[in-house]
């Protein structure tokens, strides 16, 4: 159940509504929108109805939500969530492009690629310091050193940084360095980790599990939201397919308009992991934009044959430049605005 307050309600009227929710044995969760404040009524609500709030001043309307995800539901924040990072606004703030190497391999490599994606119009630098790999013998990332390298790249280019946290032990470290914390497909239902993310005041990019339904995905987001962190983005990164010869995964672009109907959370598309092949990344990135995504996250490497992870799906800088030109040209046709680019903090040599 969602209580939508009138734009001109008073603090006393809001407090009265909150106290009423508590008196009915439920927990109030306050969501601040651009034009309205809403109260999500959390807990056992079968015995609670709109009539229980009749006569309370300051309430515009009460809406019952039948979905199990109360805080992620579109009705909780009809105008959509906006997540601000520096001069960027993710979600109704313009199309956003995150780009960079799959893994932070060295300082020289990361700075080189960071400069390349910055020059070509990227808004956020991606890079993995901790890498979840199917094989225990594959490159696992540089850890703390990798995060320090990403921080140096941010200082030079002005690009905010997104990097993945794998577990409770590494979460604090990633939160210290990264502007956005990525939660990968393998951890979508790592519930202790999701609960810990709910206690942070840091944007989260929650990737869809490899075989997860949309409702399971939204319930994972609900864990983070219910902990108090409302800065959650959803990332469609492809689901398991029976055909792995021609595509690594099946990029489910149906999910984008579905999510735009079901939830207020921003939606990002990952065509790199969603396809696994370089020649498929740009077409599916543009398709994601056309489907209504708020942004894309793509892997870029100038020496993909030497990459320590996911080289075959990484765009060359020249490929990324072509993609950015197409994105920029396509935006006005779709009626989509582009994000303003971040400004470097210092001159790049």
In a structure prediction context, what are the per-residue pLDDT tens digits for the chain, which is 349 residues long? 899 999 999 999 999 999 999 999 999 999 888 788 999 998 888 889 999 999 899 999 998 888 889 999 998 898 899 999 999 999 987 999 999 999 999 999 999 999 999 999 999 999 999 877 667 756 677 899 999 999 999 999 999 999 999 999 899 999 999 999 999 999 999 999 999 999 999 999 999 999 999 999 999 999 999 999 999 999 999 999 888 788 889 999 999 999 999 999 999 999 999 999 999 999 999 999 999 999 999 999 999 998 888 889 999 999 999 999 999 999 999 999 999 865 544 433 3
**Axis-axis angle for helices 317-334, 107-119 (nearest 10):** 30
User: 318: which residues sit within 8 A by CB, 6+ positions away?
Assistant: none
Indicate the pairing of strand 161-164 with strand 2-5. unpaired
Q: Which domains does the chain have, with CATH numbers?
A: 2-64 (3.30.70.1140), 83-334 (3.20.20.70)
Q: Are 28 and 21 in contact (CB under 8 A)?
A: yes
């Amino acid at each position: 159940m969602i209580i939508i307050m009138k734009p001109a309600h008073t603090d006393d009227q809001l407090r009265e509504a909150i106290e009423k929710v508590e008196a009915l044995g439920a927990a109030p969760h306050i969501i601040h929108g651009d034009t309205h404040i809403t109260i999500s009524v959390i807990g056992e609500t079968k015995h609670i109805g709109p009539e229980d709030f009749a006569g309370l001043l300051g309430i515009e309307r009460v809406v019952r939500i039948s979905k199990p995800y109360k805080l992620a539901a579109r009705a909780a924040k009809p105008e959509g969530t906006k997540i601000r990072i520096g001069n960027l606004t993710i979600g109704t703030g313009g199309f956003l492009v995150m780009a960079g190497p799959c893994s932070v391999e060295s300082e020289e490599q990361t700075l080189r690629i960071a400069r390349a994606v910055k020059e070509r119009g990227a808004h956020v630098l991606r890079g993995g310091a901790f890498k979840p790999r199917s094989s225990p013998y594959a490159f696992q990332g540089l850890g703390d050193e990798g995060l320090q390298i990403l921080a140096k790249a941010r200082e030079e280019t002005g690009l905010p940084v997104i990097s993945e946290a794998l577990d409770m032990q590494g979460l604090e470290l990633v939160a210290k360095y990264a502007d956005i914390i990525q939660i990968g497909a393998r951890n979508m239902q790592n519930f202790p980790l999701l609960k810990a993310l709910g206690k942070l005041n840091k944007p989260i990019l929650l990737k869809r599990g490899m075989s997860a339904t949309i409702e399971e995905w939204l319930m994972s987001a609900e864990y983070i939201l219910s902990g108090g962190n409302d800065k959650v983005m959803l990332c469609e990164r492809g689901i398991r397919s029976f055909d792995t010869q021609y595509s690594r995964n099946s990029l489910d672009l149906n999910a984008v308009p579905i999510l735009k109907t079901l939830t207020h959370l921003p939606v990002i598309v990952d065509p790199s992991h969603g396809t696994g092949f370089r020649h498929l990344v740009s077409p599916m990135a543009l398709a994601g934009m056309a489907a209504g995504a708020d942004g894309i996250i793509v892997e870029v490497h100038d020496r993909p044959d030497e990459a320590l992870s996911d080289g075959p799906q990484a765009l060359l800088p020249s490929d990324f430049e072509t993609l950015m030109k197409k994105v920029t040209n396509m935006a006005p046709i779709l009626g989509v605005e582009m994000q303003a680019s971040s400004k470097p903090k210092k001159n790049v040599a």
